Structure 1
């Protein structure tokens, strides 16, 4: 139920904060505790960023970075809990991760990422691993929210070696 609602809200081009607020209301009505906890955590991080910026507007890139960081935290926690045999806690982290992932832009497949990375490598004139920093700088900005840094780095290394 929450997924369909999130997609409908994204179509209206709302800010992430407004989208999250609406999704919180939906989760409250549905009495979905896991979704509610996840969404409140995202909203609190956005509000924290706003207070640190002292009233400055939070950019969509910053909002996406928050969502990515929260997904990474959940993924790390999931792996730790699974390794320790705490499947009850791991399941909660996995459920939260799936809910938060709905607020990211569509992720690039490995084929799409490889094609785009080849274009960036050609545009920057990179020829070897020495040029990795140059390629990563451009790629990280180009793929913000569409792919994680680890995938970008691995693809760049693969194509430059």
Structure 2
């Protein structure tokens, strides 16, 4: 089942259950997917492109969550946390830190990196491998640890 089909089914279910929060998030995600399809001038997006859009939506909400917490806006922070949890249901299973560390070490060996100056090369090689399956900040932290 494609992501769009899952979103449509879940949207119908959210309407039946009168779950306004979930319905709102699903509609926002669908709109983002449709906007991206229009932007790239295609009828449908590939799975990779869908994951890019989902990752972007998730990152925006995580950034907002930090801002709301810093400003002491617990009401908005709680709402945003709920949105994050809903979006994560559509993301692929996240890689554990051990698997991620193995991928980081493998990529460092492939690229032949040895210093922090090679960080850009390693990140460029590793991100397509873990797209949607790992947080970019965690990947960055692990790469820095391995290169230092």
TM, length-normalised to structure 1? 0.86
Residue 94 of structure 2: SS of its match in structure 1? coil
Q: Deviations over 1:140-159 (max 9, x none)?
A: 11010111221111111110
Aligned length: 148
Q: Deviations over 1:76-118 (max 9, x none)?
A: 2222222222211211111011000111111111121111111
Residue number in structure 1 paired with 2:64? 77
Residue number in structure 1 paired with 2:93? 106
Residue number in structure 2 paired with 1:156? 143
RMSD: 1.3
- How far does residue 40 in structure 1 lie from its aligned partner after superposition? 0.5
- Which range is displaced more, 91-100 or 131-140? 131-140
1:47 paired to 2:26: no
5+ residue gaps, structure 1: 1-13
Runs of 4+ in 1 over 6 A off after TM superposition: none
Residue number in structure 2 paired with 1:93? 80
- How far does residue 56 in structure 1 lie from its aligned partner after superposition? 4.5
Residue number in structure 2 paired with 1:125? 112
